[in-house]
Structure 1
């Protein structure tokens, strides 16, 4: 590709808070602002940066500046920042892709290999407006001079200025405009994934896949190198086990991904290339993007079928924090529970849902492979969007070794956790998957939808009865399967294989090959990236997308038809998933 130069015409500056769709709605609906031709300045946080840009394009902005506000990246005074502490200095700018698709954009849905057909650049969907990141030392020079109404309290950052929405500047700068000049180069370069393979003894055609990406925006000491170092340690430990005579029941694959930061390219292309093999053989994908983003507690996200295994594994890992051990919290699980009890069951730690933003996405969304992501995180008392040095030039080994994890014990805890989960899935005769946890999750999602939209559904003649019946059917099938497992003869390899295949295939049953909300790359009907924030996860994502801002949509009849269609898709999908858990002779039509 030829170098691409992008220049905006001069435009008035407008402040759009975090750049969420709700923020843009507020300016255009509540303040009646026309944003066409303006340059938006938004702060990092809340949503994926690419979604900020997509929103800016939708509302007619000519360009966008994204900055890191102290409210989201500094606690306390901006006088005490790195290298004295882990807070972001004013010169720190957060880099990152704003591409809204995963994989090589020239080969959507197919692997980017030599024999592939590559689209012309003019035929692919790239961001249409220039974008640049800046630090808060630069941002204050513009924000402090802005004209217009003062912002509402939730829009205020922590710069010592009066935040205004614009457009334009106060006197004597009222005639000034913003000229955004961005130079980018679109080039084709080869990338490499590095794959390691430990062949299993009894079920070599069943794969437990561990993955981490190794590319970084700058030095990447945390993202991704903390995860890379951790995966190297896990692979070293398993290598030692091999030397000692051990070999797993199932095969274990280690994957070091390239070009994750450009849009999950390495992992997506590998999943596309190995589609048929992984679709039939992969047991689970276990991801560690970054091993630590803090040193307070474990954080885990994964599909419900893995929840019990995650809890069990965390109870086996020694607590890396001596202060926590002194409080009687001897394991990773103990601190995790104390810091993050689940709202559904305070006797268990909270496990989040998977959206996108890391390499689990193609495994879960393309193929329906059960997935997990773990890391150590910061104390929730800090009202920050991410670890402060994220994707900045200050994310260095010095930051990690001197401030965040001096003895690398938190890295070690994540390595142990990762290894324990992997070995359980690779070595146990029966897969440690709990279908009943999925049934409970479906019930919670359904109850949440009913609470949020029940009155609106009633008003528009919408019923959730079919989804409720499907969920009950799924719960019954899950319970029956687990009762059958309790009496299973684990010495009968064919019976074991049949049940394990049922457990392994369950997640795949939630895949809709037509995609979710018009996106054929997002296919999981129960959990998928949020339509307006790729980082976050939505439950019943197609339904959530159909319901978003529905009362303000011009064609109410067509809008509610879409809602009915999504409810139908959810119902069918849950019933299909339930059928995979039943006995082989329990089939419709018999």
Structure 2
């Protein structure tokens, strides 16, 4: 027994080399010595000290402590669902107090959806807000608009949002000249007035029209699209040197005027063939303050000595259908085709000469500029894990007319979402990312409020804004659901509309209804962003993924938009008295999308959606291979760049699927790469001043795919310019693939 004690007390210093080689400890080594010693009982012996009360208490204490440590560690790191539960505390967050360290309520997606439905009031509240907002016009710079901004500010404060504030901008807007209104006349050869054609509503005008007087012949050009001008040329009619008259629809007022200017027209008259009244619309081909392009209109901004290239150089004026019929009835020339005539219009000529050859049409525009203070109203909910990343939700507040569809419904839904989300937070919902609710000013002048805010924070927003959701003009009917968005949102949109009832059929969700409409439903469901929307500015100018939702009619658009007839009564009538129900469905789609965008561990945006988009564009380019080869050019490197992008998205997907998504730093690392995909498509090779919409796929300028295709379609091409355009597009795409693939040292391995 003494020999055994000596073994455990280190009395035998000789160690077993086999034990050392195997990495065994001293106790195992002692056991080996015992077995090799013939003088000792071969059965292992253990000292009675191990069973003394002191040793027993020590062993029990160590075991209990280890068990408690295990339980505490498990509780501290436990998460129920990688894609749903995002309500724990960030252990690395600075300034966390004792309350923040408490385990929050566990909530998965079904819990959140149920809670959202619980706190979202029925559509009657939205309807009530729309009624209140649309009692009369509330254009930018008016007292009515200022009062509405104060009302929204007070509402945000009453919801107990984390932060509520107002940001002011100063912009030079254009308004009618009350002392000398715009005029339209028929003149004789000696410039005497033959007939004065009244512009029935002196408030009707086109903001940012060029001012001045034009006397010329008149040409009818259907909707004023590029193809309409081309068709006109094929019929032997030249619009150059004439006034042109076009009808509303298909493209914006600004695009109609731009196309007319390119065709050499001297001025534009715009009318609606479905309404007796004239339609309002700005004609700046862009968004934001055209007097400070790419610069914010803050209080102390020193205005640059140049203006937006999107400002027209020719005058434009909206007219009523009656005035249009009067003018069209005076035209001679080739007969207008039946496809170009309005529903109730008789046959007439295309111009440019009038039936009385010596007569001309005179248009005089006298609009005047005025400096206006614009106020954007903000409310925010601070995110729990990624507070520095924002989901921005915005709606236009101002309206030239009552604006039921234009701004009323969007503003009402914005307020309802802010209230609902705040109540959810008060009852356990803890969004990962911050949410900003914004009421934009000067939307009627080209999303000035939204764009000026973007310009003011451009250097940081591509790092901060994860997504933008627009609530502008969300209800134009109830027959078809449309999402205008970045391709990144495709999976999110399809997922959400499977969970919301279609307002026309309560037993069928929106997804099922759209799928039953026709075989081309997916192409109709998600369409490109409109050029004159705030969402377009976020996407094409700032590189922020953007989307907007709306319900529309299958064939006819809501005809009262941008008129003084855009009242609650007319909108509700178009919706068969169901404005509350349709608005509620739209609020559910927007609210559930917002919940998912602010809640999921990994942002529900799919970079691989661009794989197919890029392929479709390359197919268009491939049609010009013969022309390119004849000039010694090839698309090989462009195909390679697209392949690099595809491999980068596949690599990112694989990395996410194989990673531990309980690691907060890793989650944020992936999210930053996803949220910047659109920013990667902004060309780094052109100036934001000259080409503010730098996005190579939806932007405007020589760097875009559209410019490259249009160049290839010309009979004569500039080979040097063609090489430059291919290089600009290719290297921007390569840069997007490189950025998406990870860190610099990972790029080579990826490709």
TM over 0.5: yes
Deviations 1:140-189 (A, max 9, x none): 1111221111134543333331131112322xx44332222333121111
Counterpart for residue 706 of structure 2 = 541
> What is the CA-CA distance between 1:258 and the residue it aligns to?
0.5
Counterpart for residue 333 of structure 1 = 511
| Mean Cα deviation higher: 358-367 or 185-194 | 358-367
Counterpart for residue 64 of structure 1 = 268
Counterpart for residue 550 of structure 1 = 714
- The question of 1:197 aligning with 2:380 is answered yes
- 2:330 aligned residue (137, 145, 165): 145
Counterpart for residue 275 of structure 1 = 458
> What is the CA-CA distance between 1:257 and the residue it aligns to?
0.7
Counterpart for residue 738 of structure 2 = 579
> What is the CA-CA distance between 1:93 and the residue it aligns to?
1.1
Separation of aligned partners in 1, 2:643 and 2:310: 42
Secondary structure at the counterpart of residue 66 of structure 1? strand
From the superposition, tell whether residues 108 and 474 of structure 1 become closer, same or farther in structure 2 (CA, over 3 Å).
same
> What is the CA-CA distance between 1:49 and the residue it aligns to?
1.3
- 2:295 aligned residue (83, 106, 110): 110
Question: What is the RMSD of the two structures over their aligned residues, measured on CA atoms?
Answer: 2.8
- The question of 1:370 aligning with 2:370 is answered no
From the superposition, tell whether residues 335 and 59 of structure 1 become closer, same or farther in structure 2 (CA, over 3 Å).
same
Checking the alignment, whether the CA contact within 8 Å between 2:681 and 2:697 is kept in structure 1 is yes
From the superposition, tell whether residues 17 and 150 of structure 1 become closer, same or farther in structure 2 (CA, over 3 Å).
same
Counterpart for residue 153 of structure 2 = none
> What is the CA-CA distance between 1:276 and the residue it aligns to?
2.4
> What is the CA-CA distance between 1:517 and the residue it aligns to?
12
Normalised by the size of structure 2, how large is the TM-score? 0.68
| Mean Cα deviation higher: 15-24 or 216-225 | 15-24
| Mean Cα deviation higher: 422-431 or 440-449 | 440-449
> What is the CA-CA distance between 1:302 and the residue it aligns to?
1.5
- The question of 1:409 aligning with 2:581 is answered yes
Separation of aligned partners in 2, 1:422 and 1:92: 38
| Mean Cα deviation higher: 58-67 or 519-528 | 58-67
> What is the CA-CA distance between 1:388 and the residue it aligns to?
1.4
Counterpart for residue 506 of structure 1 = 677
Checking the alignment, whether the CA contact within 8 Å between 2:535 and 2:546 is kept in structure 1 is yes
Secondary structure at the counterpart of residue 374 of structure 2? coil
- 1:42 aligned residue (232, 235, 246): 246
After superposition, where does 1:5-84 map in structure 2 within 5 Å?
A: 6-28=211-233, 31=236, 33=238, 35-36=240-241, 38-70=242-274
Secondary structure at the counterpart of residue 298 of structure 2? coil
> What is the CA-CA distance between 1:421 and the residue it aligns to?
1.1
From the superposition, tell whether residues 417 and 101 of structure 1 become closer, same or farther in structure 2 (CA, over 3 Å).
same
Separation of aligned partners in 2, 1:277 and 1:445: 31
From the superposition, tell whether residues 540 and 339 of structure 1 become closer, same or farther in structure 2 (CA, over 3 Å).
farther
Counterpart for residue 528 of structure 1 = 699
After superposition, where does 1:179-194 map in structure 2 within 5 Å?
A: 179-194=362-377
Query: Which of structures 1 and 2 has the bigger CA Rg?
Result: 2
> What is the CA-CA distance between 1:508 and the residue it aligns to?
1.2
Normalised by the size of structure 1, how large is the TM-score? 0.85
Counterpart for residue 128 of structure 1 = 313
Separation of aligned partners in 1, 2:630 and 2:699: 28
Counterpart for residue 80 of structure 1 = none
After superposition, where does 1:553-572 map in structure 2 within 5 Å?
A: 553=716, 556=717, 558=718, 560-572=719-731
> What is the CA-CA distance between 1:570 and the residue it aligns to?
2.1
Counterpart for residue 164 of structure 1 = 349
Secondary structure at the counterpart of residue 652 of structure 2? helix
> What is the CA-CA distance between 1:132 and the residue it aligns to?
1.3
- 2:564 aligned residue (390, 393, 412): 393
Counterpart for residue 531 of structure 2 = 356
Secondary structure at the counterpart of residue 132 of structure 1? strand
Separation of aligned partners in 2, 1:279 and 1:478: 19
Separation of aligned partners in 2, 1:278 and 1:409: 35
| Mean Cα deviation higher: 301-310 or 120-129 | 120-129
After superposition, where does 1:284-323 map in structure 2 within 5 Å?
A: 284-322=467-505
Checking the alignment, whether the CA contact within 8 Å between 2:386 and 2:668 is kept in structure 1 is no
From the superposition, tell whether residues 297 and 52 of structure 1 become closer, same or farther in structure 2 (CA, over 3 Å).
closer
> What is the CA-CA distance between 1:122 and the residue it aligns to?
8.5
> What is the CA-CA distance between 1:25 and the residue it aligns to?
4.2
Q: Which runs of 5+ in 2 are unaligned?
A: 1-171, 181-210
Separation of aligned partners in 2, 1:111 and 1:168: 46
From the superposition, tell whether residues 34 and 420 of structure 1 become closer, same or farther in structure 2 (CA, over 3 Å).
closer
From the superposition, tell whether residues 581 and 94 of structure 1 become closer, same or farther in structure 2 (CA, over 3 Å).
same
Deviations 1:233-254 (A, max 9, x none): 2112112213324231110001
> What is the CA-CA distance between 1:442 and the residue it aligns to?
1.4
Deviations 1:181-239 (A, max 9, x none): 33312111111111111101111101011111111121111012121112122112112
Separation of aligned partners in 2, 1:581 and 1:485: 13
Separation of aligned partners in 2, 1:9 and 1:205: 53
From the superposition, tell whether residues 190 and 544 of structure 1 become closer, same or farther in structure 2 (CA, over 3 Å).
farther
Q: How many matched pairs?
A: 543
> What is the CA-CA distance between 1:20 and the residue it aligns to?
2.5
